[in-house]
Amino acid sequence: MLQKNKISLSLTPVLLTPAFCEAAAALHQTSFDCPWSKESFESLLSLPTTIGWIDEKALLVCSKVIDEMEILTLCVAPCFRRTGVAEKFLDYLFQYAAEKGVHRLFLEVSVQNTAAGNLYDKKGFRPIGYRKNYYKTKAGFCDAVCMEKIF
């Protein structure tokens, strides 16, 4: 497992717009077995509920409906991991959510994803349920844990 790095890196997110969809797809490809294409990001962004941010190191995309937000995807480029980038991105999201009057954040994450599970646990998300065989992996299917954070 990737060891914690003592360096703490800064984060300067900009709003994810169609101009950044190619960069978003490239980042996503570094982090997932089934990455989203540029067209997938464009299609997501065409929805009025989608909001996302990108930085050269990381990407965060959410959906917002009234006072609830769902994290659709979060990834940090492998060479910048374990330097506090994901934590900073979630802090950025929490601030945005608070400013917009969001009361609940939720997400789904693979039960096999220890890094993300630890991250969300550390940032105050709590499990509220499971979805059986939710993710397809190279080895078969695996469950997702649904988590929420109430403000």
Sites of contact with ligand COA (CB under 6 A): 1-2, 4, 31, 73-76, 81-87, 109, 113-116, 118-119, 122
- Per the structure block, which two tokens stand in for 72? 């659709």
How far apart are CB 120 and ligand COA at their closest, in Å?
Answer: 8
How far apart are CB 42 and ligand COA at their closest, in Å?
Answer: 20
Which of 84/101 has CB closer to ligand COA? Answer: 84
Q: How many CB atoms lie within 10 A of CB 60?
A: 24
Closest listed residue to residue 113, CA positions, set 149, 144, 82, 139: 144
Query: Buried b vs exposed e over 114-137: b needs ≥16 C-beta within 10 Å?
Result: eebbebbeebebeeeeeeeebbee
In this structure, are strands 104-110 and 68-76 parallel, antiparallel, or unpaired? parallel
How far apart are CB 60 and ligand COA at their closest, in Å?
Answer: 9
Which of 101/141 has CB closer to ligand COA? Answer: 141
How far apart are CB 27 and ligand COA at their closest, in Å?
Answer: 9
CA-CA distance, 85 to 146, in Å (whole number)?
22
Closest listed residue to residue 127, CA positions, set 135, 118, 136: 118
Which of 45/61 has CB closer to ligand COA? Answer: 61
Which of 78/101 has CB closer to ligand COA? Answer: 78
